[in-house]
Amino acid sequence: MADLTLNEKRLLVALAPMGEGSAAALAAALGTTEEAAVQHAHLCADRGLAAVTRTSAKTYSLTPEGTEYREHGLPERQILDSFEGSISMKDLQGHPLSRIGIGWLRKKGWIAITKGVAEKTGEAAPGEDEVALADPKEGMPGIAELLKRNLVEEHEEVAYRIAITPEGRALVAAGLDLVEETGTLTREQILDGSWRTANLRKYSLSTPPKRVWPGKSHPYQRIIDEVKRILLDMGFVEMQGEIVLSAFWDFDALFQPQDHPAREMQDTFYLDMKEPLPAGYEGVRDMHEHGGTTSSTGWGGVWSTEVPQQCVLRTHTTPFSIRYLIDHPEPPVKAFALGRVYRREAIDPTHTPEFEQLEGIVMDEDVSFRHLLGYLKEFYGRMGFENVRFRPGYFPYTEPSVEPEVWVDGLGWVELGGAGIFREEVTAPWGIETPVLAWGLGISRVAMLKLGLKDLRQLYRSDIDWIRESPVIRKEE
């Protein structure tokens, strides 16, 4: 019991000679308020050193209107006494209190009204309300009525009696020192050394502390940063680019046919604006129409110069890669982009119209599909996915194409992205003759796996408590 506060000790010392006392008496003995005395008594009671008994009593006082009626009688009583036997309603309504009183007269059955004449019924003994009005006390039947009529006000008086327990007496008998207690050390106490003799308050560890939240980056951003770190460490240069692109760069330069349903594989946000075709577009046109000077037949048909000028919100980050290669034609090139892409999808737990996509490319002499698989194994391995396997895939701009799958305990094989070697129809128009390995994946899918998220929307329209409670250092399951 050494951890009693000073106030608790002082209360016990004051209470011991009294044995028992009211809160007021105890407060007087302690030189404090009744509220404080009761609070400290409760703390002692929690330790079994004191007992606190609470009693409450209701008292009533008359309102000004009530006071008047106690002296002169309730309105209905005054009206009743003002006439003999019967009275016309016309005359009755002339009484000053008729507005209030007539209703009560009828309600109490003191009068009967027929054909415009009110007659006394003879039933007018003093009621419970009149008895209560004379001297209102708790428990009287008529009090409720008077309260409703706002003739009486109710007051609750709470009284506490505090008694010391045998344990409390024993403690006092054993001796309690009443030295002042120190909460926070002051500068003076530190400087003058008085802390040595100060009674330093002790704190309990059984109560959890007040929670504080640090400022911190978004859990999804931390995953994005992890992925970027992997690629930077693998020697990749970061690319960034525009969100608004012409369809030429988003589709046509990547050998996607202008009317092929593959364009629907990426439902597109179109904008009502156009951007002119860039210099060198003729090479892309030739690829689409007949394959130019490559061994390709092209898609055939006539390539429209109107369709690719339409602006879109980028549907993938692959356009950055081809433009980066145009600007950096000398091998070796290793580059990546990680950015938000836009697909015209309604929002549901597993689909959002925006999400983050990663794109990586490697251009070097003598690289091959075998090396692409090597990069994928290395990259996914560093991401924490130990088991990787490969399935044939299809994309309009790569050949061969491959879909990596990773093993996730509890989920089985999960397809995570797509990859391939840029088709010659994509690279030849810009004079690129070195093979280009390329791969991409949706990072939000990775985030769902790593964060244990069931609802993608949480990444973008976040519950702040989810962000607060996501630890910066994640345990790997």
Partner 1 sequence: MAIISLNYAYLERLTGTDRKTILERLPMIGSDIERTFDDHVDVEFFPDRVDLYSTEGVARAMRGFLGIEEGLPEYPVTPSGISFTVDPALRQIRPYLGSAVIRNVRLDEAGIESLMGLQESLHWAIGRGRRKVAIGVHDLDRVRPPFRYLAAPRDRRFVPLDFQEELSMEEILERHPKGRDYAHLVDAFDRFPLIVDADENVLSFPPIINGELTKVTTETRNILLDCTGTDPKSVRMAAHIICTALAEAGATIESVDIDGTPYPDLSPVERIVSVDTCRRLIGIDIDAEEMAALLRKMRFGAEPLPDGKLRVLVPPYRADIMHDWDIFEDVAVAYGFDNIDAALPQTFTTGKEHPIAVVERQVRSILTGLGYLEVMPFTLTSERVLYGQMRRETSPDLLRVSKPISEDQSVVRTEILPLLMEILEINCHRELPQRLFATGDIIRGVKTMQSVAAVSIHPGADFSEAYAMMDAFCRECGLSPEFVESADPAFIEGRRGDVLVDGKKVGVFGEVHPEVLVAFSLEHPVAALELDLRAVPGYPARPGTP
Residues 315-344 that bind partner 1 (CB under 8 A): 320, 323-324, 327, 332-335, 339-340, 342, 344
Task: Compute the distance between CA of residue 68 and CA of residue 66 in angstroms, rounded to an integer.
Answer: 5
For partner 1, the closer of residues 76 and 425 by Cβ is 425
359 to 398, contacts with partner 1 by CB under 8 A? 362, 364, 366-371, 373-378, 389-394
- 74 DSSP 8-state letter: -
Query: Min. distance of Cβ 381 from partner 1 in angstroms?
Result: 11
The whole-angstrom separation of Cα 244 and Cα 262 is: 20
- Is residue 335 within 8 A of residue 238, CB to CB? The reply is yes
Tokens read off for 354 = 């925006």
Which residues, 94 to 133, sit near partner 1 by CB under 8 A? none
Residue 205's SS3 state is coil
Is-contact 375 344, C-beta < 8 A? no
Examine residue 351 and tell whether it contacts partner 1 (CB under 8 A). Answer: no
Is 232 a residue that touches partner 1 (CB under 8 A)? Answer: yes
Are 271 and 315 in contact, with CB atoms under 8 Å apart? Answer: no
> Does the protein bind partner 1 through residue 217 (CB under 8 A)?
yes
- 208 binding partner 1? (CB under 8 A): no
Q: Which of residues 284-303 bind partner 1 (CB under 8 A)?
A: 291, 294-301
Taking the CB of residue 359, how many other CB atoms lie within 10 A of it? 23
**Interface positions, 442-471, toward partner 1 (CB under 8 A):** 459-465, 467-468
CB of 282 to partner 1, least distance (A): 19
State the minimum distance, in angstroms, from the CB of residue 413 to partner 1: 10
Site string for partner 1, 398-427 (x = CB under 8 A): -xxxx------------------x-xxx--
CA distance 394 to 178: 84
Q: Closer to partner 1 by CB, 197 or 297: give it.
A: 297
Considering the complex, state which of residue 199 and residue 221 has its C-beta at the smaller distance from partner 1. Answer: 221
What is the Cα 354 distance to its own chain's centre?
22
Q: Structure tokens of 402?
A: 């491959």
Q: Which is nearer to partner 1, 200 or 466 (CB)?
A: 466
Rg (CA), the chain: 44
Q: How far is the CB of 297 from partner 1 (least distance, A)?
A: 5
In this complex, which beta carbon is closest to partner 1, that of residue 327 or of residue 409? 327
Beta bridge partners of 181: 199
280: left (phi over 0), alpha (psi -120 to 50) or beta: left
214 lines the binding site for partner 1 (CB under 8 A): yes
Q: Which residue lies nearer to partner 1 by CB, 141 or 301?
A: 301
Of residues 6 and 271, the one with the C-beta less far from partner 1: 271
- Residue closer to partner 1 (CB basis): 10 or 285: 285
Residues 426-445 touching partner 1, rule: CB under 8 A, are 435
Q: Which is nearer to partner 1, 89 or 373 (CB)?
A: 373
The tokens for 307 are: 């369709």
Sorted by sequence, the CB contacts under 8 Å of residue 46 that are 6+ apart come out as none
Of 20, 21, 1, 17, nearest in space to 9 by CA? 1
Stretch that binds partner 1, among 77-85, 107-115, 134-142, 229-237 (CB under 8 A): 229-237
- Copy the structure tokens of residue 389: 């396997």
CB 438 within 8 A of CB 395: no
**Which residues between 239 and 258 bind partner 1 (CB under 8 A)?**
239-244
